[in-house]
Amino acid sequence: MELVWQHRWGADVYPLSTSTLVIVLRIARCTPVARLQVHYGDRYELDFRSCKDAKHYGSDGAFDYFTCEVEVPTRRLKYAFEAVSSSGQVLYLGEGGLATTLDAVQPYQYPYIHPSQILTVPEWAGNTVAYEVFPDRFSVGGRLLICPSVPWEADPTTESVFGGNLRGITDKLPYLRDLGVNLLYLTPIFQAPSNHKYDTQDYFNIDPSFGTLDDLRSLVQEAHRLGIRVVLDAVFNHSGFRFSPFQDVIQRGRASPYWSWFFVDGDHVDVESVNYETFATRLRHMPKLNLAEPAVQEYLLAVAKHYVLECDIDGWRFDVANEIDPHFWPRLRAELRALKPDILLIGEIWHDGMPWLTGDAFDGVMNYPLRDLVLRYAVDEAIDEVEFAHKWVRLYLQYPRSAWLTMWNLVGSHDTERVLTRANGHVPSVVLAYAMLFTLPGIPMLYYGDEIGMEGGTDPDCRRGMIWNENLWKNDLREAVQQLAGLKRTHPALSGDRLEIHDANSGVLHYVRLNGTGPHLHIAVGKRRAFGAKVRSPRFAWDVPSRTSGEGRKILIWECNSTEGCGHDSRADGFHNQ
């Protein structure tokens, strides 16, 4: 039965509010269902008082996905599914398995909707466009604060220092505003010996090569004046080798008051054999912190609150968040929300982030699974439209809808090759990837320089100095990004969490962003030259020929009050196949 019917606690039943639950059921396609209903009622009542049709959202190729929103006025719920097969057979499904009558089914239970179980995210997130900056490589403002080890145009190594600083970022804020950015994310800026600063030496000091606390205050103030929020990077999974508590442990062993802050095998730290846990595998300069230790929690909570209080930052992105003791996150979330109710909290998680999106940890995670999906379709052309739709359905229903408002959607970062390099220099493929990134639910995040066509392989090559010579920019790519950023920031349909796939055939992808107060937004990729002839005044239109075959292709975005496309019958111009 579990191979045919799948309904999991947490991922497939979650609250949108204290009176509404979302319920999801997967049914294997080998047992086609003509109709699915949810019977539900208060747990303490004998009968199911209500019944509602579940909507077929889509398929991942193996399962059909059905969703339903039910009202729970008492906050307590029991529910069961009624499925009618294509042959007319009726079956009921509950916690105890299948039954032939509703009276015989053992229902599922949602004992009580607690406010702490509701994922609430900042209201401002819906129309946000994020931009990631690697401070050493973005811009030099004022006098140099450190002597660069290489020229700005040099290919970076793991040890290169270019000299970028906070004043340089402040100077370039008008560039970001002009691009359409309204959220700036900085990789670590706290004192550390490396160029990347993920080996923190002092969490309470800005690295002197970047500036001072006053420089950070000025950056945040000017950003806010221009309508740009600022998110900092918190490295709480591990410290740096020069972190004073770790140095004390090296010197004093078990006698150190900081001994329990780390994971040491033995009575003393052996730097040569690395007898302590670290980030990744035996990276001696990044000892892992023990977040189960109350003193460590107190210290890092003080760090997180310090920059909110002192500099008015708008959020944190947490490095290696999935390896930190999960008991730390509810306290951190509660204390930061008490200081700033609309603060944004994002976890760096490269896989399924559901355990951290249940209301007591993060608002969203870095959406690397979506990155893989978009790149495989738009850039690699390794999957077709049908497979994209299948994988989207599975990914979309993997998370609560609220989380989709704040997922950080990206195609490049300081940890990946640059998107234009992935596309072998083919700009139209990158435009298509960005058009999808900006129109799928979530916060699109640009990696500095990707919008002008910078290239680079994986770390450290993806961390080249930002190109400020406009003669070297790919202005068609930047223009596309500007248009898409403007659409994301202003269109109500893109501020929500709802998406439906209208068509997915070989050569055709058409999805709709639903808008409850005005026109929906249609996004379509088609291969026929005639595609889009009947769409008037599109909000975005771009030729995106295939990178591998050269076949003509276009992406088109337009408004319509109907989810069907406002009379644009794509059958007539070959947009989709019957």
Residues with a known catalytic role: 319, 348
Compute, in degrees rounded to 10, the torsion defined by CA atoms 431, 436, 439, 443: -90
Angstrom distances, CA of residue 128 to CA of 121, 371, 514:
13, 18, 17
Cβ burial of 445 (10 Å; 0-12, 13-18, 19+) is buried
Specify the 3-state DSSP secondary structure of 556.
strand
In a 13 Å sphere around the CA of 405, the CA atoms on its Cβ side amount to 22
Q: CA Rg, the chain, in Å?
A: 26
User: What is the edge-to-edge ordering of all strands in the sheet holding 229-234?
Assistant: 364-365, 344-347, 315-318, 229-234, 183-186, 130-133, 443-447, 408-410
The DSSP code sequence of 534-553 is T--S-SEEEE---TTT----
Residue 190 contacts residue 206 (beta carbons within 8 Å): yes
Where is 69: in which H helix or E strand?
Answer: strand 63-71
Residue 66 contacts residue 55 (beta carbons within 8 Å): yes
Number of other CB atoms surrounding residue 355 within 10 Å: 12
Specify the length of the chain in residues.
578
Closest CA to 80 of 102, 56, 54: 102
Closest CA to 304 of 258, 362, 236: 236
Closest CA to 321 of 294, 346, 339: 346
Residue 183 contacts residue 131 (beta carbons within 8 Å): yes
Quick one: DSSP state of residue 330?
H
Q: What type of residue is 560? A: C
| Structure tokens given for 73 | 């006025």
Pairing of strands 77-85, 108-110: antiparallel
> For residue 541, what are the β-bridge partners?
556
Angstrom distances, CA of residue 563 to CA of 53, 500, 511:
20, 9, 9
Residue 385 contacts residue 432 (beta carbons within 8 Å): no
> For residue 320, what are the β-bridge partners?
none
**Site of tokens 């929020």:** 229
